[in-house]
Structure 1
Amino acid sequence: MREPDRIIRLKTVLARTGLSRSTLYRKIAEGTFPAQLRISTNGSGWHESDVDRWIADPVKWRPGSEGGERR
């Protein structure tokens, strides 16, 4: 049985990727990083597996492709 995918918050994403906050949001706008999920009125996060796939190969990551962002 597969473990459920965790939702990670901004601080964790920044620490794991080494990106600055402004670079992260620029990459999201460009479509070269997974978009965040709305988890509450004022909160958002990312699927850990999407961030892991981006870390494994940031150049080839594209939304909607295999290993890309989920919908």
Structure 2
Amino acid sequence: MKLIKLRTVMECTALARSTIYKLMDEGVFPKSVNLGVRSVAWVESEIQDWILERIEERDLLK
């Protein structure tokens, strides 16, 4: 299992920092993992799964 930092999450999803945290608050984006006082990361596989779900939603609309 690999953890990735915010910058990588932003690059993978093409989402802004504020959008990521907004979606987390809404419960529709994977939660971050607390690494310390001011450090968080995300589980890479959860981010990849979230991206795949967006693709599946897109394909269902066709």
Q: Which category of TM-score, normalised to the shorter sequence, fits these structures?
A: 0.7 to 0.9
**Over 3 Å off, 4+ runs:** none
Residue 33 of structure 1 aligns with which residue? 29
TM-score, normalised on structure 1? 0.73
Could you say which structure has the higher helix fraction? 2
Residue 45 of structure 1 aligns with which residue? 41
TM-score, normalised on structure 2? 0.83
- Indicate the percent of aligned positions where both proteins have the same amino acid: 34
**Can you list the C-alpha shifts for 1:4-56, whole angstroms capped at 9, x where unaligned?**
x1000000000000001111111000000001000111100000010010010
Residue segments in structure 1 that go unaligned for 5+ positions in a row: 61-71
Give secondary structure in 2 for the equivalent of 1:58. helix
> Is the radius of gyration larger for structure 1 or structure 2?
2
RCO (CA 8 Å, sep 6+): is it higher in 1 or 2?
2
Give secondary structure in 1 for the equivalent of 2:36. coil
Q: Are 1:14 and 2:10 counterparts?
A: yes
